[in-house]
Structure 1
Amino acid sequence: MNEIIWPEGFLPGFTENFVSNEVIVAGLSPAQVWPLLSQAQRWPSYYANSANVRFHDPVGPDLAKGVRFYFETFGFPVEALCTEHVPPTSTEPGRIAWHGWAGEGETRLDVHHAWLIEDLPHGRVRILTQETQKGKPAQDLAKAKPNPMINGHQDWLDGLVNAAKSIGQ
C-alpha cells in the first residue's frame, strides 16, 4: 500500500502531534470518494467539524496545488495552501494535502494534513488521512484525552464514506 509524502519539517515523530486514521471499505471506488474530498466546499455537508470554507481567489470547485483557502475546524480559523492534488487513476492513488496555519506567536499552530485514496483488490478502497502539527496548541492537543484529532478525523472519514455510499446508490 502507498504512504503519505511528507514535506521537510513535518515528518511524523519530529513534530508536537501526529494523528493517523484509515478505513478500508468494500463497494466504493476512489472515483466516488474523490469529488467529496477534492471539493472543499462540500466538506461541511458530511463533516460537522468543518465550516465556512472559502477560497481566496475564484477557483473551483476542486482544490488544486497552489490554491489558498480558509476553513474553520476544531475551533481554529485555518488559512491553508493546497500543496498536493493528484486525482486517482486506475494505477495510482489520489493525493490531497495542505499546509494549514492559525494564530501567532505562542498560539501559532502549523499543520500538514494529507489524504491518500487508493484502489485495493476485490473492489475495495483505502482512505488514509494523516496530520502532523507544530506549535504549542499541538502540544496541548497531543495530551488531550480523548484525543480530539483522532476522533475528529474518524468522524471525517466516516462522513466521507457515508456520503460516497449515498451518492453511489
Structure 2
Amino acid sequence: MNAIQWPEGYLPGFTENFSSNEVIAADLQVADVWPQLSQATLWPSYYPNSANVRFYDGKGPELEEGVRFYFETFGFPVEAEVVEYVPPTKGKPGRVAWHGWAGEGETRLDVHHAWLIEELAGGRVRVLTQETQKGKPAEDLAKTKPNPMINGHQDWLDGLIAAARTATR
C-alpha cells in the first residue's frame, strides 16, 4: 500500500504529536470519495468539527497546490496552504496535504495534515489520513485522553465515507 510523503521537519516520531487514521470501505471508488475531500467547503456538511471554510485570492472551492485557505477545527482558527495536491488517476492514489498553523509564539501550533485515497482489489477504497503537529498546543493534545485528534479524525473519515455513499445514490 502507498504511504504519506512527509516534508522535512514533520516526520512522525520527531514532532510533539502524531495521529493516524485509516478506513477501508467496500462498494466505493476513489472517484466517489475524492470530490468530498478535495472540495473543502463540503467538509462542514459531513464533519461537524470543521467550520467557516474560506479561500483566499478568489480560489476554491477545489483545493489545489499552493492555494491558501482558512477553517476552524478542534477550537483552532487554522490558516493553511496546500503543499501537495495530486488527483487520483488509474492505478495511482490521490494525495492532498496542507501545512496549517494557528497562534503566535508559545501558543503557535504547526501541522502537516496529509490524505491518501487509493483503490484496492475487490471494489474497495482505502482512505488514510495522518497529521503531525509541532508546538506547545501539540504537546498538550498528545497528553489528552481520550485522544481528540484520533477520535476527531476518525469522525472525519466516517463522515467522508458516508458523504461519498450518499453522493453515489
Summarize the alignment of residues 52-91 of structure 1 with structure 2, pairs less than 5 Å apart: 52-91=52-91
Q: Name the CA distance, whole Å, in 1 between partners of 2:96 and 2:33.
A: 12
Q: Name the CA distance, whole Å, in 1 between partners of 2:61 and 2:102.
A: 24
Summarize the alignment of residues 9-88 of structure 1 with structure 2, pairs less than 5 Å apart: 9-88=9-88
Q: Any idea what SS the aligned residue of 1:25 has?
A: strand
Q: Name the CA distance, whole Å, in 2 between partners of 1:24 and 1:78.
A: 28
Contact kept, 8 Å, 2:66 with 2:82, in 1: the verdict is yes
Summarize the alignment of residues 126-137 of structure 1 with structure 2, pairs less than 5 Å apart: 126-137=126-137
Q: Any idea what SS the aligned residue of 1:155 has?
A: helix
Q: Name the CA distance, whole Å, in 2 between partners of 1:163 and 1:130.
A: 20
Q: Deviations over 1:7-40 (max 9, x none)?
A: 0000000000000000000000110100110000
**How far is 1:56 from its partner?**
1.1
Residue type at the aligned position of 2:112 = H
Give the gaps of 5 or more residues in structure 2: none
Contact kept, 8 Å, 2:55 with 2:61, in 1: the verdict is no
Q: Deviations over 1:68-95 (max 9, x none)?
A: 0000000000000000111111110000
Tell me how large the CA RMSD over aligned residues is.
0.5
What is the aligned partner in structure 2 of residue 150 from structure 1? 150
Q: Normalising by structure 2, report the TM-score.
A: 0.99
Q: Any idea what SS the aligned residue of 2:131 has?
A: strand
What is the aligned partner in structure 2 of residue 164 from structure 1? 164
Give the gaps of 5 or more residues in structure 1: none
Equivalenced residue count is 169
Which aligned runs of 4 or more in structure 1 are off by greater than 4 angstroms? none
**How far is 1:67 from its partner?**
0.2
**How far is 1:65 from its partner?**
0.3
Q: Normalising by structure 1, report the TM-score.
A: 0.99
Q: Percent identity?
A: 76
Q: Any idea what SS the aligned residue of 1:3 has?
A: coil
Contact kept, 8 Å, 2:54 with 2:69, in 1: the verdict is yes
**How far is 1:60 from its partner?**
2.4
